[in-house]
Each structure stands twice: as C-alpha cells, then as structure tokens.
Structure 1
Amino acid sequence: MPAMLIAGPEVEPLTLAEAKIYLRVDHDAEDALIGSLITAARATVEALTRRVLIDQSWRIVRDAWPASGLIAAPVNPLKTITGAHVLDAEGAEVGVPTDALLADTARLPGLIRVACGTVPAPGRPIAGIAIDVVAGHGADADHVPSPLIEAVRVVLAHFYEHRDEQGAGAAFPARLDALVAPFRVARL
C-alpha cells in the first residue's frame, strides 16, 4: 500500500541558524547547501524510524477495502484523516463519507478503521481508493522528541563532513542507531 506525499512540512526540525551553530560554520557561503542537507537529514531520520517528524499531508492508495476493516497507516504517527474518495469505472472521484473512516492514533502504526458497509466500492481494480491523512509529531520542532532532533543533527553533520565522498561514503556514527532505535515503528 503506497503512500504519496501531498504536502511536506512547513518547517524543518532545525533552522539554518541552529544547523550552522552545530556545524560551527560562521559564513554564509554554504547556506544553500546546509539548507538542503537539513532536509536530507530529516528525510533520512524519517526513513530510519518510519516516522514523520513535522506534520505532513499524505495520500494512502489502496486497491480494495480490507475485509478486516483495518488499514495500518504507512506514515506515522497518524494524526487525522482529512478526506477520502474512490474512483468509479470512468475515473471520476466519489467521496467517502467522513464518518465511515476513523483514525486510531493511539497505536503505532496508526490504524484506520473502515465501516465496511458504508463505504462505496472502487470502480477500478487498481489504485481505486485514496485516503488523505496528516501524520507527524506536530507543526514545529517543539513537538518532536529531542532524541530525534539530535538524530537529525548527527545525520546533518555526517552529510556535511562526508559530502565529497564517492559512492556509499562513510557509515553513520554508531550513536545514530541508539538515538533512533526507541522510535522505530514496526511494520505490520
């Protein structure tokens, strides 16, 4: 079940100024590079933990409604369901009633509970269902657990220090695993 990013975070977990202080950079010549490395570091920590750090909008695409009525969210922590639709045989969107889907946000991974008798069936066999959700710890870095912010710093420093290496480059520092391990979301 793929998830597609609709809208990324409005802010990054580190500001450019915070990143430059951490990297001990006191000039502006590499601001664009450091800005892109902040984004790459956040994305890396998100991939390692299977968690979205700052709130983002995602679309979950499915072929059919599950018989169990439960959909494990591929992006976590799940916050809200913002909309859903199915595609009919001609490709037109048919809205799903908002009360037919319930976000169970107390679990990791989050669950979407489907009231199976009240949702329209998709009219095509592949990618006929779309559920739009918001996932993340909050709108800004203040809501992100501090070990994950530190993990972003560690990855940022690694990327900055090893930016000229070819191929796979140097391995991440061992402390990165200790920072992200307690926050990894298991796959179902």
Structure 2
Amino acid sequence: MALPVRVTAPEVPPVTLDEIKRHLRIDHDDEDDLIGLYLDAAVGHLDGLSGTLTRCLVNQVWRQDFHRFRHRFDLAFPNVSDASVAYLDAAGNDIATTHVWALQQDEGEDAHVSLDVSAAAPSGLETIRVTYTAGYGAIVEGEANPVPGPIRSAILLMVGDLYRFRETAEAGGAPSVQMSLTVERLLSPYRRHFL
C-alpha cells in the first residue's frame, strides 16, 4: 500500500477553545495562545497517519499513489466520505478513462475503492492516484459535533494535563505527566493500525 500524503488539513480542531476553557474553568483570554498550543499537541498526538489513532478526526483530504494497476485499492483511513481516482502517465499527465470506481467500507471500517474485474489498464499508465476525504465529518457551528464524544473527552483531558503540569520531569528525571488511564480507555476502541 502506498503511504498517504495529506493534501488539505482540517479547517477546525475537533474541540473548540471555548470547550477547553469551560473544561479548565478559565474565564479569561490571557492564555488562549498557550491553550491553543496544547490543543495542537493533543490533536497531533491522535490525528492522521502519525497519530496514535491512525485515523482522521475531522474531515481532511488525503492522496495515495499506487504504481501497479489493480481492481481494488485499500485506503489508509476509515470514515471516507468521498474518493476520486485518476490515472497518470510517466510525466504526471492525466490519462482519460471511462472506468467508474466504487468507494466501499466494510463493517471493520476499512475503506477501499474497487473496479469491475473485467476492466483493463489503460495504455501508458504509470500511477493510479486516489484522492479522498476522511474523517468523522465537518464541524459546523450550530450543528452536533461529528467527532465521537470519547475522543473529544480524551482531548480535553490531555489539554488539561498539559495545562496543569507544565513541566515534563520531576527531580531525578522521572516523568511527572503520563497519559492517564482514563484517556487510554476512552481512546482504545478507536485505535487502528496502518499496514
């Protein structure tokens, strides 16, 4: 499987600054930048290919290139809402085709695009490029947040720990902040493994 490349990052984080401030019981704006930095760290720890969940939290666009024609291409992430397939020649130019690919997801959340097995590869084909949107959905003000509550709760707890314990080690070098058991339990049903 080809390694995916993120094309478009999510427009908003899975939790808002206001939600975090309510969680932390903060009613001033003095530390908004610091809290935003902690939010970025918590989301970065979980989201995307390098995140520990190996899934996309909020809708974002990814691309995977494959260099051999097949009738099925497995995608790196679940919760795929849209996918397009393009054929490229060695120079990176589009090759016209009438093939129609279908996006499918199984109950285990794995997503793939597939093509009728009788379809033949177009001549001059060098790369098959699959571009897709993955994530729980877009976050729109005034609508329910599509990111599961346990993931959002874990992010709030992680940001809270980073905010309250601003040092990484105690005297003697022992870590003072470790991932809480509650955070681990909240996240464990959502962990996936890529490759």
Normalising by structure 1, what TM-score? 0.81
Alpha-carbon spacing, 1:98–1:168, altered in 2? closer, same or farther (3 Å): farther
Give structure 1 stretches of 5+ with no counterpart: none
The residue aligned with 1:104 is 104
How far the C-alpha of 1:45 sits from its partner, in A, is: 2.5
Sort the Cα spacing of 1:26 and 1:79 in 2 relative to 1 into closer, same or farther, 3 A: same
* CA RMSD between the two structures: 2.6
**1:111, distance to aligned residue in structure 2 (A):** 1.9
1:57 and 2:61 are equivalent in the alignment: yes
CA distance in 2: counterparts of 1:185 and 1:80, whole angstroms = 20
Q: Could you tell me how far apart the structure 1 residues matched to 2:178 and 2:111 are?
A: 31
Whether the 8 Å contact between 2:7 and 2:63 is mirrored in structure 1 is: yes
Q: 1:143 is matched with which residue: 143, 146, 157?
A: 146
1:78 aligns with 2:77: no
- Of the two structures, which has the highest relative contact order with CA contacts closer than 8 Å and spacing of 6 or more? 1
Deviation at 1:42, TM superposition (A): 2.1
String of CA shifts for 1:85-117, please: whole Å, max 9, x gaps: 232122323355561x21113442212213452
Aligned residues: 181
The structural deviation recorded for 1:122 is: 6.2
CA distance in 2, matches of 1:104, 1:161: 43
Cα 1:98/1:138, change in 2 over 3 Å: farther
Change (3 A) 1:89 1:20: same
Q: Secondary structure at the match of 1:48?
A: coil
Distance 1:41 1:172 in 2: 11
Q: Residue 57 of structure 1 aligns to a residue in which SS?
A: strand
In percent, how many aligned pairs have the same letter?
27
Larger Cα-atom Rg: 2
State the partner residue of 1:173.
180
Distance of 1:144 and 1:157 partners within structure 2:
19
Match of 1:184 in 2: 191
Q: Structure 2: give runs of 5+ residues left out of the alignment.
A: none
> What TM-score do the two structures reach when normalised by structure 2?
0.78
User: How far, CA to CA, are the matches of 1:131 and 1:143 in structure 2?
Assistant: 24
